Structure 1
Amino acid sequence: MEMIKLSGVIITFNEERNIEHCLKSLINVVDEIIVVDSFSTDNTKAICERFNVTFIEQNFLGYIEQKNFALAKASYDYVVSLDGDEALSETLQTSIINLKTNWTYDGYYANRFNNFCGQWIKHSDWYPNKKLRIFDRRKANWQGVNPHDKILLLNTKSKTGHLKGDILHKTYQTYSEFNQKTEYFSTIAAKAYFDRGKKAPIWKVFVNPTWAFFKSYVLRLGFLDGFNGFVICVQTANITFLKYSKLRELYRKDILN
């Protein structure tokens, strides 16, 4: 087949710590880079403007909506989609370049390797943490429940492949940042569940967090990542607890109103 062209698509907000690494990992892989930014107040825009990118400012629409907005701005149908705190490993860069003359499937998964407080996390629910991020946008879009967005192929008969290499994800670099994001994401998730009419019986407040911790710490070997593995698994339980607690709170407020 003839060589296809790829669009790199990124959404950002205050990513000055990570965006340069993200862009450098894409520039030799894709034929254009689209950055949709939610009016960052740090140096994200200035850093992006040092690279040959199309920089678009757009008020944040929600994770799923913002990513679909960004997807629509790409010039090419074959897309590599990243967050601003993600980058392609060298092996994954090579795998994607090889696709340009050998694109076979509708989408491709890659494992995401998460760095937490300076440590690469190899277990719990955090690895291999495979993500569908290389795909034909005519056959897929962003769906899910905010903030847990994911690419879904529109045809149930679509076929996917798996690429060698990792998406390198610089996640939380302090425990305080992790706590703040747990609060933030649990609030978004509770609101999304409320909007969908999902219920929160009291048993879910107790059972679901307990199961979340056991699954990630014991079944998925989170204990092998040491103290940081324990912190991650506790927060996995905590975000589940907060999500259902806040969902119950939303229903109480709704009744009072």
Structure 2
Amino acid sequence: MIKLSGVIITFNEERNIERCLQSLVNVVDEIVVIDSFSTDNTKRICSKYNVTFIEQKFLGYIEQKNFALQKASYDYIVSLDGDEALSETLQKSILNLKSNLQFDGYYCNRFNNFCGQWIKHSDWYPNKKLRVFDRRVAEWKGINPHDEIVLKDNRKAGKLKGDILHWTYQSYKEFNDKTEYFSSISAQAYYDKGKKAPWYKIIWNPTWAFFKAYFLRLGFLDGRNGFIISAQTANITYLKYTKLRKLYKKR
């Protein structure tokens, strides 16, 4: 029977972290929390549980998560963010893996809660994520802040029943602030990789992002919040490319 390490990165997650930990305690064999020196009660809440709590200056989303993998005792990982938790069905699915492991990685659907509403469309569900994996053949990659686990050597992945429950933005202001923040990170990451921002991408990419989320992904079925999510999906794309152009102009 394999052993599992639950790995979490956190920063000021007092609103969510206890729910995350409670969903892991009966599933994994250890919990490792990598915290970016939270200034709220995150550390105190974690101290109530049997966790390995490590404070590490934030290295970047991808870099921080790869650092976290190195601190786990076991090779098989269940990776969550501090604002996520395993549904009861997913907990049972992961427990079953301990004696019936067939793949090197497993995808789960992520179910997002936005301003108190569970979003069933709007390009947010099913939001497939690979979060259970063998770290020996996996690595966090992508372009910050959009990280993803990639299996090496064309390893095959399976699919688990149940959802990762994700409590995203709980106010429109929080959504706006994070859109500004993440678009700046994305623009800098694109700049560092030499990606360009031609004028047509500023027009076409946001338009396509809204059309896909609201119409093709049925965002209109999520009501007002579906429209807001789709509009912000377009907005973050627009901001990313306009900020990228500004970085090139400064150079």
TM-score norm. by structure 2 comes to 1.00
Counterpart residue type for residue 45 of structure 1: K
Corresponding residue for residue 195 of structure 1: 192
1:106 to 97, 104, 115: 104
Please state how far the C-alpha of 1:74 moved relative to its aligned partner: 0.2
Give CA deviations for 1:186-219 in whole Å, capped at 9, x if unaligned.
0000000000000000010011000000000000
Corresponding residue for residue 237 of structure 1: 234
Corresponding residue for residue 178 of structure 1: 175
Counterpart residue type for residue 201 of structure 1: P
CA distance in 1, matches of 2:138, 2:36: 23
Corresponding residue for residue 228 of structure 1: 225
Corresponding residue for residue 165 of structure 1: 162
Q: Which runs of 4+ in 1 moved over 6 A?
A: none
CA distance in 2, matches of 1:160, 1:64: 20
Corresponding residue for residue 83 of structure 1: 81
Please state how far the C-alpha of 1:124 moved relative to its aligned partner: 1.5
Name the SS of the counterpart of 1:205 in structure 2: helix
Corresponding residue for residue 148 of structure 1: 146
Counterpart residue type for residue 98 of structure 1: N
Pairwise mapping of residues 124-139 of structure 1 onto structure 2 (< 5 A)? 124-139=122-137
CA distance in 1, matches of 2:158, 2:200: 39
Report the count of equivalent residues. Answer: 251
CA distance in 1, matches of 2:93, 2:216: 31
Name the SS of the counterpart of 1:102 in structure 2: coil
> Unaligned regions of 5+ residues in structure 1, if any?
none
2:29 to 31, 55, 62: 31
CA distance in 2, matches of 1:141, 1:34: 17
Please state how far the C-alpha of 1:76 moved relative to its aligned partner: 0.2
Work out whether 1:41 is the aligned partner of 2:39.
Answer: yes
Name the SS of the counterpart of 1:28 in structure 2: coil
Please state how far the C-alpha of 1:154 moved relative to its aligned partner: 1.1
Please state how far the C-alpha of 1:125 moved relative to its aligned partner: 1.1
CA distance in 2, matches of 1:118, 1:6: 31
In angstroms, what is the RMSD of aligned CA positions?
0.3
Name the SS of the counterpart of 1:41 in structure 2: coil
Corresponding residue for residue 59 of structure 1: 57
CA distance in 1, matches of 2:123, 2:151: 23
> Unaligned regions of 5+ residues in structure 2, if any?
none
TM-score norm. by structure 1 comes to 0.97
